[in-house]
Every structure is written in structure tokens, then in C-alpha cells.
Structure 1
């Protein structure tokens, strides 16, 4: 079966002229206004008439709004970003009715992302020159890397971040993204704070002798600078120009932290995907974990959710298998050598000591957990997709998530063989990687 070509977004900085910046700023405002007007009209139609409006209805309303004197300024910008805003609203409602997301909210000028999306009818790209609708000159783009050979953008998204920097994102088909040769190796990944990830086996040039990747803690590195600019911001008067300048400095400090973190995660996940055929990670309830005030900053800085997202799409691109072990699997309490489970294991105990006198394993807690995660993930390939771990195949399909249970069914666990397993098969699956 032929493999579909991967679509990738290539993001670049650009420096607009004063006229281009003014037009794009008006476009951002009009996109936000149309989105809010359409959302308010859909709310009113359902509340007063119990009638659902769809994209076609809101598109007709947009034409009527442009004819009014109150919203005549909508005609000053390209109509394509406004239509795209209505399509995004329709997609948001489809996600809500499909129980994949919350109800759409109104966009705020202070909090919403300033962006506008252009389709092929509203831009032209030729010989590295990109021109948008209603602009006399092409954008001055900093081409930090080339586009794929012969690629033609299908969608262009222009945005501006809180630090005042302009970006353009070009969505193209990238034929160079193909499945990698079979690596024939598997790795278990345990996520943490002191060590961002701990692998089931050390990797030269990536981990230390124990298999740990030290957490760079990007937020802590710039914490003094961030605190300094935030104190300056707190002293400025509301609405003053000096406050706007101070807010700009705070945004630049946050952007520096975010970019360093994202760059590190890209390098780490790319190395893991290239070197391993199967990657097994644990499912973490990050939203619940950040409620711990003493650890919230460190957990947010670790960015485990972004790490998982990168692994998911890179495994899909390059033909790797990603297995996500259920969050209730007691990977830290099980001995990776003999399978003996501890009843209690305090968080302060960083060294795992097996209670089985015949085993007596003494191993770093995180390394032991990584090996158990790998064993649980490999069990999925033996038992099928009915076990507790969630599996992401190269095609992007994921098994159905089951309700939490304290005991894992059909895969190795601390209590012995699962249903339909013999003692020997259970031991083979648990201890083959110990």
C-alpha cells in the first residue's frame, strides 16, 4: 500500500514593513472579531430558536456584516483569513460535539494568539518570494532552512508573538519523510524531574552510565532574569508606555525559555526515534500533578506532555512503534529482575532494594522503573492490543483507553500471570529484558 506524503509546517521569522505590519495587525483584529461575532450568533440561535448554525450559515452572515456601516472595516482586509476563522469555529464545535474538546470560547485581544491563515487563493509563492493578498511587496523572510525540493505551500499562517516577533508558517508536503530502516531495538523511558528521562539501557553520547538524561531545567536558568523584569513590570502604571515596554521584556524572557526547552526536546526525541524501533513510555496525569504547588514549576518546565507529543508524531512519520503504558502500572515498586513487588515505596527512596532474599537486587529507582516499563510495553506485542497499555502504531491508531483498575489484565504484573497466561510465559515476558 502506498504511503501518504507527510505534510509539515516550516516556520520562519520575517521582518514586515510598516505598511505590512499595519495591514497584518488589522487582519488579526478582524479575524478575532469575525470569530467572536459568529460564536455569539451561534449561541443566540441555539438559545432563542434551538437552531444549529453551520459554516455555510455564518459565511452568509459575514457577507451581511460587511455590508453594514458598523463592520465596514472588514472589507479592508483579505476575505480568506475571515473565512478561515469561520472554518476554525466550525472545527471547534465539531470537537465539542464529538466530546474531544470543551465548548468554544470568545477570543480576547490580550490573551488570544494573533494569527491569520491564508489559503492558496490569497497568496503567491514563487522562487522563494511570498506575497500575501492586498500587499504590494513580498515578505522579507529569514530563510533559516530551505523548503523541500519542489514544495509548494498549501497554507500560509502569519502570526506575531507576545515579544513582538513576526513568524510565517508554510504547510508543505515533504516527500523526504520516509520510514527508517528497522532498528531492531526497544527502549523503556521513565520520566522524572532530576533526570528528565531515564532509559532502560544507557546510550553513548545521550545518557550517563546509568541511562539518565540530566534535566537542563531551562526555567531555573533564567529565573533571576525573569524575576527582575517581572518586578519592573509590577512597578509600572496601568496603561503607560513604560508598562508596555516592561511587558515586552517579560515576553522575551519567557520566549527564550520556551525556545531552549523546545530545542532540547526536539534533539532528544529525534535521537530516540532514530535509534529504536519500539519506544515505551508511561502515561502521566500531568494536569493533576501540577496541582502540587511545591513541584508545579518543575513539572511544567520538564514539559512531559510536549515530549510525548513529539514522540507520537515522529514515530508516525518514521515508521516506529510507540507504546504508552497505563498510568496505574506500579513500575517503581516491581523488581525488574525477579518480579517481586514492594507494598510501600516512599518517594524519598531513590535506590530500589528487592525484598526477595534470593534476588537482592540493588538498583537506581528510575532505572528499575524504566526496565519495568519496557517489559510491560513488550508484553503488548505478545498479548495483542487488549492489554492495559495504550499502543500507538506507525499508522497513528491507538487502542481504546480502559477504566483504571489496580491490577493489569493480560500483561505481566506483580500479582503473577494474567488471564490466559501460564507461569512460564509470564516469566518469559517479564524477565526477558531484566
Structure 2
């Protein structure tokens, strides 16, 4: 067994390399100091916690940097954002920003667009209680099925732009082959770089459309319900299924669950995650009768309970069971919290 240990603290600073790498002078000293702190934290995790060795971040791939706001060095006007050492830059703001700006992260996307992400210290007011609870069943045909009977169709953003993406990627491959045949570097091939941006724009449209959909849907659910119950799915394990991997990835269940989690915490709502092994689909929501796996194959979308004769839609029945189980867990959690039990 190999044991790693550090004998000396990391003393190298990005500022020491300004003479060799002129582009380091383009940003302010706080940005370089942040990089040093991030690198030191990464090495500490590697040596003390056994995480992976820090990966080298090559210039030109996911370019970004973070700077801090000190006495108004990062500020906003109606149409500009002020950054240290750069000054005012024209910018578009989707929403009004209320609060104290702590830091700004400037990033460049593969399509050539620049974004500024602001870290703001603010007060988030809790949303009013609605006395409504909801259970959510995640799916592929329908993105979600709610326990109140509502169904949200799966937008399938990747599938809709799949043909266009394939065409642009084929053209990119041709540009790559032409550049290699002419013994030119890809960075020097203008046609290849132009086509690379076109491919990036297709991906960007897919990502932005998906994020917009997930943010609006998650906020709407949080706004209108007090207790939200959802499945705790093993998405990493599920994407190993080659037949369903692309459809599951396109659905972005993990991103949707993450948004529900932090928005529920922000706005004073309760999110309950049901154990992934809970048989929500195979349990009758009317009487609790449990079917076996053989009695309810994946292809069956509805079934009649042999005990109470209730006709169950597979997805709707699952969402009702998820809600009932979620309410039990939420009640138990409050009881444990009130009595102080571990």
C-alpha cells in the first residue's frame, strides 16, 4: 500500500508565471489568487482524502476565471457589468439582481459567447403555504406523472435536434480530414474552426432549452405544493443500459431532482426522496396489494388489482404511492425532530 504525504506546502503562485505567459496579465490579481487557492485545495483533497490527482486545465478548453468584489470592483449598471482591470462591458441581464455581489465568474462557451455568473448574498423569502402535496413519478414517455393526474410530456430536446447535430458533426469530420490531408493543424484550419462553432451552437441550444424547461417546471412544482415526494433513482446505474442510456440522459432526471432540492430549501418547502427499491409501480394504491415482477412486466402500462379490483394506470398509481410514502416519511421526520431522537 502506497502512502502519500506532503513535506512542503505549495508555494508556487500564478503571478510567478506572468513573464512566460503574457495572457495571465489580462486578469486581476484576485483571479490569480483564487486559482492558487483552488489548486491548494485540490492537492489537499488528493493527499488527505485520497481523491483523484488534480487535472491540468488547458487554455482554450472551458476557459473561465473567478474574481472577488472588493469595494465595488464588481458592479452593475442598467446595461453594463464592471469587472476588475477590464472596466464596463455591455451585458444583458435576465432578472434584476438584489443583494451584495460577492464574486463574479467569467466564462467562455465553445460557441464563442461570454457569460458572467454573479455570486450574490441575498435574502430569499419563503413562499406561502398552499396546503397541497404532490407525488412525482419520473418516466421517459412522460417526463413526469403527478399524483393529481397531471402529466408533463417529455420534450426530448436532443431527439428533436438529432438530425441537425449529425449533419453538422459529419461536416466537422470532413473538415478535420481535409486539414490532416493538407498537413495543417486544426487550430490553423479556419473552416474546421467555423464548423466546430456550428456544432457547439447546436449543443448549446439543446442545453439551454433543457435548462429553461427544468427551471420553469421545478419552480412551478415548488410554488404550488408544500410537500413534494420523488423517487431517488440510481441514474448512473440506469444509463449503463445501452437501449435506454440516450433517452435517460436526454431527460436529465438528476438535474431536475437537484433543482427541486435546492429550491425547496430556499422557499421553505419539503422535498422527500423515496427509496429506489420501494415498489411504487407494483403496489396497488387502493388496498396495498403487491404484485410480483413476473405479474407486472415493464411493457404493461396498466393493471387490475386482484384483491380490490381497482384499475391502476402504472405511472399514476406509482406517483400516488410515492406521495403516500413521502407523507409518512415527512411525518416521521418531524416526529423524530420534535422528540430529539437520532
**Under TM normalisation by the shorter chain, which class is it?**
0.7 to 0.9
How many pairs does the alignment contain?
322
In 2 relative to 1, CA 300–106 (structure 1 residues): closer, same or farther, beyond 3 Å? same
Q: Does structure 1 residue 141 correspond to structure 2 residue 91?
A: yes
| Cα distance change on mapping 1:241 and 1:367 into 2, 3 Å | same
For the residues of structure 2 that align with 1:372 and 1:383, how far apart are their CA atoms?
Answer: 17
Match of 2:280 among 324, 331, 334: 331
Q: Does 1:304 align with 2:253?
A: yes
Q: 1:127 to 1:259 in 2, by over 3 A?
A: closer
Alignment partner of 1:353 is 2:300: no
Task: Please report how far the alpha carbon of residue 144 of structure 1 lies from its aligned counterpart in structure 2 after TM superposition.
Answer: 3.2
Is 1:159–1:166's contact at 8 Å kept on the other side of the alignment? yes
TM-score of the superposed pair, with normalisation by structure 2: 0.85
- The CA RMSD measured in Å over matched residues stands at 2.7
Distance in 2 of aligned mates of 1:64 and 1:275: 51
Aligned pair 1:61/2:12, yes or no?
yes
Structure 2: which 5+ runs fail to align?
180-185
CA distance in 1, matches of 2:230, 2:49: 26
Matched residue, 2:159: 220
Pick from 308, 313, 316: which aligns with 1:367? 316
Are 1:193 and 2:140 matched, yes or no?
A: yes
Distance 1:383 1:75, change over 3 A: closer
| Shift in Å, 1:370 | 0.5
Question: How big is each residue's C-alpha offset from its partner over 1:295-328, in whole Å with a ceiling of 9 and x where there is no partner?
Answer: 1111011000000010011101100000001111
Task: Give the Cα–Cα distance (whole angstroms) in 2 for the partners of residues 105 and 276 of structure 1.
Answer: 42
TM-score (norm 1): 0.68
The alpha-carbon distance between structure 1 residues 157 and 243, as it changes in their structure 2 partners (threshold 3 A), is same
3-state DSSP of counterpart to 2:315: helix
> Which of 174, 195, 219 is matched with 1:235 structurally?
174
- 1:246 Cα shift? 1.0
Give the CA deviation at 1:220.
1.2
Q: Identify if the C-alpha distance between structure 1 residues 127 and 93 changes in structure 2 by more than 3 Å, giving closer, same or farther.
A: same
Change (3 A) 1:288 1:102: farther
Change over 3 Å in CA distance of 1:383–1:170 after alignment to 2: closer
Structure 1 segment 101-180 matched on structure 2, within 5 A = 102-109=52-59, 112-121=61-70, 123-125=73-75, 127-128=77-78, 129-135=80-86, 137-148=87-98, 151-175=99-123, 177-180=124-127
| Pairing partner for 2:266 from 317, 320, 334 | 317
| Cα distance in structure 1, aligned partners of 2:258 and 2:326 | 18
Compute the displacement of 1:107 (Å): 2.0
Does the 8 A contact of 1:125 with 1:152 survive in 2?
Answer: no
Alpha-carbon displacement from aligned partner over 1:64-123 (angstroms, at most 9, x marks no partner): 8348x545764554221111112223444566678696543222446x421111101493
* Counterpart residue number, 1:430: none
CA deviation string 1:130-149 (max 9, x = no partner): 332322x411112333222x
Cα-to-partner distance string for 1:198-236 (whole Å, 9 max, x where unaligned):
11113xxxxxxxx21111111111111111111111111
Conserved? CA contact 2:15–2:32, under 8 Å: no
C-alpha contact (below 8 Å) 1:183/1:275 kept by paired residues: yes
In structure 1, the residue corresponding to 2:288 is in which secondary structure?
coil
**Offset from partner CA, 1:149-192 (integer Å, 9 cap, x none):** xx3411011111011111111222333x2111222121110000
* Aligned counterparts of 2:236 and 2:14: Cα–Cα separation in 1: 42
Name the SS of the counterpart of 1:138 in structure 2.
strand
SS, match of residue 115 in structure 2: strand
Cα distance between partner residues in 1 of 2:284 and 2:50 = 38
Contact map agreement 2:14 2:33 (CA 8 A) in 1: no
Which has the larger displacement, 289-298 or 305-314? 289-298
In structure 2, distance between residues paired with 1:100 and 1:218: 38
Q: Is the 8 A contact 2:82 2:88 kept in 1?
A: yes
Tell me how far apart the structure 1 counterparts of residues 259 and 17 of structure 2 sit (CA, whole Å). 41
1:190 and 1:100 map into 2 onto residues whose CA distance is: 37
Identify which of 338, 342, 354 aligns with 2:291. Answer: 342
Which of the residues 85, 89, 92 maps onto 2:39? 89
Change (3 A) 1:384 1:101: farther
Distance 1:146 1:119 in 2: 20
**Residue in 1 that maps onto 2:182:** none
